[in-house]
Amino acid sequence: MRSPGTSGAYVTPQPRKSTRIEPVERRVIGQTVFGKYTLTRFLGEGSNSRVFLAQSLASSTPVVVKVVKEHLLANPRFQQFFDGEVRSMARFAHPYAVRLLDASLDEPLGPCLVLEYIPGITLEALLAQQPRLQFERIARLLGPFCHALQAAHDAGIVHRDLKPANLMVVDVDTPLESIRVMDFGFAGFTAKPHIQLAELTGHGAIFACGTPAYVSPEMVRADSVDARADLYAVGVILYEMLTGRLPFECETQEEMLAAHVQSAPPRFHRIGRSDISPAIEGVVQIALSKYPNERQQSAREIAEQFGRALGFDLWSETAPEGYVPPEDDIVECVLAVDAPPVGPEDQFLLSDRFEAMLPERLAAAKLRGFIEDVRGVAVASEPGLIRVRLDLPSGWVEPSDQKPKGSAILSWLSGNRQVPIVRGKEPIEVDLQMHKLDPNRVAVIVEFRPLKWHLPDDVRGWKTRCEEVYSVLRKYLMAA
């Protein structure tokens, strides 16, 4: 190599050896995932994933690959959550939402999602360039946004983390400018209610998800959450597009969360936006109401109200051309009692299905009251399932299915440390499988079974005990 304008040899200096570890974002560039997508560029990262641009080997089509971060894998329910979310998301497709193309738990890089690549810039980047947008332009973005949300909510999907960084603006600064909603891949599917274990036991932290600036008050309060939490985020984003600032500007996350619950957003004229009509401001203020039943009740309603404030039919004019909503394809649960017995405990399985009055804001309190009344212990809670055990003696420890290691005498001792079970009072395990029908009703499949280590001798007595618990359960849930 020669320097310009000089002659003679130039010796390239040897690079110094470094002990510095190359970031994972660089190390994986060039690797192939799913055997068909080559990572070409690191795009960025969020709290839960790293995002890469990739190229399809078959068609040279660009795609986006999201690699789940390691801290999520520590959750023992992660695989079940991942599988369920991916199956549901694969059935959701809308012209104004970024599609999920592929997913796997088994990639060497970690669990991955492959998403449709949409060229454009995020609304976050657009607002950094142009903090205040014109009313008609906001409407042009709001219409597609609400259409995508309405379709998701109709499918039982709640996003829970809507923010400008999750909205891609396409065809920027053209008459075709529009929005695509991103990150539905780990959205919440609310057809199966999820009451956290801490809500049933009174112990442990209750976690709210979402980004602090856009999180709904009910998520901060740890109330039950439905699609109207997304509508609150729409209100925050509308406020930001109209005024160039957030409704609450706080120095700490704690102050921000408290403001969502306790403070009223400033009126537009107090922050120098007297040019915004009361009709437009009214749409935003209603969306920012502290309780879901005070807001608009659907994304469509927000779009229609905003359009009326500007004097046109925003919902119809931004409807995706040729889109036909899919028919409801919810698969009914199959009762476990209909399956052939596979173990000795299954002959004692009792089950029933009923509809219950379970308003979301009272769900945790009602179920916790039932558990306390029957002196049970909630041992598991996940979307659509709560598991309770009754009549566990004090000091009882669940036996391990693994053979104890060591000598025969140690094996004998470990197998005989268990607290004895009184005959006729064998522990009962109760599973509540729930599917939401509307905000106030759920379909419930309840199953009673003994623990496999302690099977009853008296089938009639066992059935009588289960029926007594079942009667208490129906009372608490106001069963139909």
What CATH number is attached to the domain comprising 445? 3.30.310.80
Residue 469 lies in a domain: yes
pLDDT value of residue 59: 83
Using an 8 Å Cβ cutoff, are 358 and 442 in contact? Answer: yes
CATH of the domain at 110: 3.30.200.20
CATH of the domain at 132: 1.10.510.10
Q: Is the pLDDT of residue 74 over 90?
A: no
Per the confidence metrics, is the pTM higher than 0.85?
Answer: no
Least confident of 45-49, 54-58, 285-289, 311-315: 45-49
- Please state whether 101 falls in left (phi above 0), alpha (psi between -120 and 50) or beta: alpha
Q: Is the pLDDT of residue 415 over 60?
A: no
- Which residues 6+ apart lie within 8 Å of 15 measured at CB? none
The residues that bridge with 53 in the sheet, in sequence order, are 41, 64
Same domain, 71 and 136: no
Residue 124 lies in a domain: yes
Higher pLDDT, 401 or 194: 194
Same domain, 132 and 86: no
Same domain, 94 and 170: no
Residue 125 lies in a domain: yes
Q: Is the pLDDT of residue 479 over 70?
A: yes
Residue 442 lies in a domain: yes
Residue 94 lies in a domain: yes
Same domain, 93 and 131: no
Same domain, 436 and 411: yes
Q: Of 114, 134, 160, which residue constitutes the final position of a domain?
A: 114
What percentage of the chain carries pLDDT values higher than 90?
30
Q: Is the pLDDT of residue 70 over 60?
A: yes
The pair of three-digit structure tokens given for residue 38, joined into one six-digit string: 């080559």
Q: Is the pLDDT of residue 433 over 90?
A: no
Q: Of 50, 85, 114, which residue constitutes the final position of a domain?
A: 114
Residue 272 lies in a domain: yes
Q: Is the pLDDT of residue 417 over 70?
A: no
Residue 355 lies in a domain: yes
Q: Of 77, 92, 114, which residue constitutes the final position of a domain?
A: 114
The residues that bridge with 469 in the sheet, in sequence order, are none
- Give tens-digit pLDDT for 355-377: 887 776 677 788 888 888 888 88
- Give tens-digit pLDDT for 303-340: 999 999 999 999 999 999 888 876 654 333 332 334 44
> Could you list the active site residues?
161
Cα separation, 166 vs 145, whole angstroms: 11
CA 476 to chain centroid? 28
Cα separation, 13 vs 369, whole angstroms: 74
Same domain, 203 and 69: no
Domain that holds residue 357: 336-477
Same domain, 220 and 310: yes
Q: Looking at residues 82-105, what average pLDDT do you find?
A: 80
Q: Looking at residues 124-128, what average pLDDT do you find?
A: 93
Same domain, 126 and 272: yes
Cα separation, 161 vs 128, whole angstroms: 20
pLDDT value of residue 133: 92
Cα separation, 297 vs 102, whole angstroms: 33
pLDDT value of residue 234: 96
The residues that bridge with 352 in the sheet, in sequence order, are 446
Nearest CA among 157, 146, 163, 61 for reference residue 96: 146
Length of the chain: 480
SS3 sequence, 201-229? HCCCCCCCCCCCCCCCHHHHHCCCCCCHH
What percentage of the chain carries pLDDT values higher than 70?
74
> Is 479 exposed, middle or buried, given 0-12, 13-18 or 19+ CB atoms closer than 10 A?
middle
pLDDT value of residue 243: 94
Residue 1 lies in a domain: no
Same domain, 271 and 341: no
Same domain, 387 and 283: no
The pair of three-digit structure tokens given for residue 449, joined into one six-digit string: 């079974």
Same domain, 248 and 304: yes
The residues that bridge with 335 in the sheet, in sequence order, are none
Q: Is the pLDDT of residue 287 over 90?
A: yes
112-116 and 62-68 as β-strands: parallel, antiparallel, unpaired?
antiparallel
Same domain, 277 and 392: no
What is the crossing angle of helices 228-243 and 135-154, to 10°? 170
Higher pLDDT, 412 or 344: 344
pLDDT value of residue 56: 87
The residues that bridge with 445 in the sheet, in sequence order, are 353, 433
The number of domains in the chain is 3
